Amino acid sequence: MNKKIIKSGVKFLLRHKLQSFFMILGVMIGVIFLCLTFAIGSSTEKQILDKMKGFFSSNNIFIMAGKGMKRGGPRSEGSVTTLKLEDMEAVLNAVPGVIRFDPMQTLSPCEVIYGNVNISTTIQGRSVDGEVVWNRTVTSGEYLNKEDVESAARVALLGSKIEKQLFGDSNPLRQQIRIGSVLFTVKGVLEEKGTDPHGNNLDMEVIVPITTMMSRLKNVDYIPAAKLEVDETKMAEIAEKIKTVLRERHSLNADVSDDFSVMTPVQAQEMVQKMKKIFTLYLPLISGVILLLSGIIISILMLISVSRRVSEIGLRKAVGASPKDIMLQFVFESVMISLIGGLLGLLIGLIGTWAIITKLGYTFYLPWQPIVLGVLLPVIVGILAGIIPARKAANLDPVKSLA
Amino acid sequence: MIQLKNISKIYGKAGSQQVKALDNVSLTINKGEFVAIVGASGSGKTTMMNILGMLDRQTSGEYYFENKVVSILSNNELASIRSGKIGFVFQKFHLLPKTSAVENVELPLIYTDHKDIRHMALEALNKVGLSNRIKHRSNELSSGQQQRVAIARALVNNPEMILGDEPTGNLDSQTGLEIVDIFQQMNRTGKTVILITHQQNIAEHTNRIIRIHDGKIVEDYRVQNPRNIAGELMKLDTMNK
Ligand SMILES: Nc1ncnc2c1ncn2[C@@H]1O[C@H](COP(=O)(O)OP(=O)(O)O)[C@@H](O)[C@H]1O
Ligand SMILES: [Mg+2]
């Protein structure tokens, strides 16, 4: 018996396509949003977390030029010119507990040429201490030494993959390559690190002395950031002292805020948490609100539908439909509509997410939450939205509705 | 089959303006009877039909259907009796819009355990002479055809009692007679048929006429020679020529 009522409900929806369409639309948009937030959220969250892990050990501090990350997102590099190499030297000398640092400066994309092979890749400026701070050494040749950095020598360390692409099986050591328009001598080949979570292949990187990078490749006198290795038992204290030293060197008055930011692992953790909150709390909350609204829309449209269909309802009762049957019919209609909206939303949402994430160069993780929720929530929304109209329909007086 | 004992129906809540649509009506209708309920507009005919068809409940008095007290039944139980034993035909047809004839006729079967509802619906349409209109939608049919669909819908459950509330009221006289013919045929197959009308000539096709006035039965008599439709239709036909 229920099967026939359901079939009859499907027929009704098909006969009233426009009305069904508007009810479907709301849920569809809600679920699309749900998909986007979850999928993009979880994908980016995973990238960020992995990146953080790659960057941060419990004994690392990052110093960055500029006002820091108030809103959780990284700001653009290079635009802030206040952080100098000398600042970092001063921090190393003046703050006890700071063991070593490696300044950062990146050039990307940049052409690397050997013979007739021409590859566009990323160049990193590093100091002697980069070997320890970034925990990455060479498998052949030698790492950068003090002399290389002090004299801004034109020497380069090659990632294992770019080395293969440039030199094939021949020995790269002491060969001349061109980076941009500058000639460099290959000094070593870096150990393999694979692809970082951002999609950057670290084995395609080329490392040159930071000073060479600044004076010959980029022609700047500032750095965007530096990674420090410190005594992790005095983390907070060290962070405070670094701030004092840098404020003094930058002659900042008490009423001026920092023109740099110091990030400790604790703060990094907090930042990740904040971002996580955006993706796991606020965005789903928004989709929840959209679904709630679409539930209300369905409910209102169903109520209108009920009042337009009083004579149909009266007739159904006259020919033997019980209040229970009528109730079932309307709740079913509402669930059906909501579910169709949910499935369409899921389809569009997942395709859309896949497109966006692939375009961003991230890896697409098929998220299970929106798939489960995209089916479950519409059913719940449909039931809840259907109850009031269905009750109204079930309680209609057949005598009045047939008059 | 049906017994009304001192049935009254009062519309409106106590205190507000009340209408006594049925006033202490007692009545017995046996299985297989063909009864007309006549009376002026507003006399209480529809009210009576609604109570007989269990669409509405009386204010006082007792209604026995097949010797069972109706007033103690729940709305779901009433629905199940309507579904199995009563067929309605209304003045305004009440067909579902945008829906084919056969699907309209299937409607009552949706609420039953019957399996082959399409087959049953086609059979019912055949009985009212509409086998050639099964896929037509309501708005593609003439009013006479629409009322036939409605009758097929009332028949499809093979009910014991058929109630028609002015089923000829919206039809011209010839089409009206054709419809009464179908009611007469149904009565011949053993069904109890109760036909509400305010047209005396329509009523004279039945076997018994009950006249109500201001909610009271004022007349209840057997028709000695019920009019024969086939003959009249032929007469009308020749007149038209
Ligand atoms: N739902 C209602 N509420 C109030 N009064 C009603 C209602 N239905 C019918 N009536 C009144 O009851 C009386 C009988 O109505 P009805 O049974 O429809 O008569 P008929 O079908 O013979 O024209 C009329 O006076 C009508 O106005
Ligand atoms: Mg009436």
pLDDT value of position A70:
45
pLDDT at A157 over 70: yes
Nearest CA in chain B to A403: B92
* CA dist list (Å): B134 to A12, A15, B71, B198, B224: 18, 18, 39, 31, 38
Region B28-32 average pLDDT:
96
List of residues 6+ apart from A403 with CB closer than 8 A: none
Report the alpha-carbon distance of residue B229 to residue B236 in Å, rounded: 10
pLDDT of residue A22: 80
| Distance (Å) from CA B172 to ligand 1 centroid | 25
Residue entry with tokens 């202490």: B24
Provide the residue ranges of all domains of chain B, joining segments of one domain with +.
32-46+85-240
The answer to whether residue B229 scores a pLDDT higher than 50 is yes
Distance A111 CA to ligand 1 centre (A): 93
Predicted confidence (pLDDT) at residue A47 exceeds the cutoff of 80: no
pLDDT of residue A51: 67
Residue B173, helix vs strand vs coil: helix
Q: Is the pLDDT of residue A74 over 50?
A: no
Cβ atoms of B161 and B191 within 8 Å: the answer is yes
DSSP one-letter code for A339: H
Question: Per-residue pLDDT averaged across A391-398, rounded?
Answer: 92
Joined tokens for residue B234: 């032929």
Q: Assess whether pLDDT exceeds 70 at residue B136.
A: yes
Which ligand neighbours the alpha carbon of B39 most closely?
Answer: 1
| Digit-coded pLDDT (tens) for A91-108 | 999 999 999 999 999 998
The percent of residues in chain B predicted with pLDDT above 70, rounded, is 96
Q: In the predicted model, what is the mean pLDDT of residues A332-348?
A: 90
Cβ contacts (< 8 Å) between B82 and chain A: which residues? Answer: 317-320
pLDDT score of A162: 94
User: How high is the mean pLDDT of chain A?
Assistant: 86
pLDDT bin (cut points 50, 70, 90) of residue A288 is: confident
Length of chain A in terms of residues written: 403
Q: What is the mean pLDDT of residues A378-387?
A: 90
B80 neighbourhood in chain A, CB within 8 Å: 320, 322
- pLDDT, greater one: A121 or A196: A121
Q: Which of B99, B107, B109 has its CB closest to that of A316?
A: B107
- A245-254, A330-339, B143-152 — which one is most confidently predicted on average? B143-152
Give me the pLDDT at residue A154, please: 96
SS3 letters across B54-68: CCCCCCEEEEEECCE
Please give the angle made by the CA atoms of A187, A188 and A192, to the nearest 5 degrees: 155
For residue range A63-72, list pLDDT tens digits in order. 989 875 444 4
Helix, coil or strand: residue B19: strand
CA distance linking residue A25 with residue A298, whole number of Å: 10
Summarize the confidence of residues A262-283 as an average pLDDT: 79
B32-46+85-240: what CATH class? alpha beta
CB A256 within 8 A of CB A231: no
Whole-number percent of chain A with pLDDT over 70: 92
Assess contact for B35 and B193: CB atoms under 8 A. Answer: yes
Find, among A290, A331, A337, A335, the residue nearest to A19 by Cα: A337
The per-residue pLDDT for A253 is: 86
Write down the pLDDT at residue B186: 92
Distance CA A298, CA A26 (A): 8
Confidence check: pLDDT of B15 > 60: yes
At residue A75, the pLDDT reads 47
Interchain contact B218–A (C-beta under 8 A) = no
Contact A390, A327 (CB under 8 A): yes
Strand-pair category, A206-209 with A117-126: parallel
Query: What letter does residue A234 receive in the DSSP assignment?
Result: G
**ipTM of this complex > 0.85?**
yes
How does the average pLDDT of chain B come out, rounded? 92
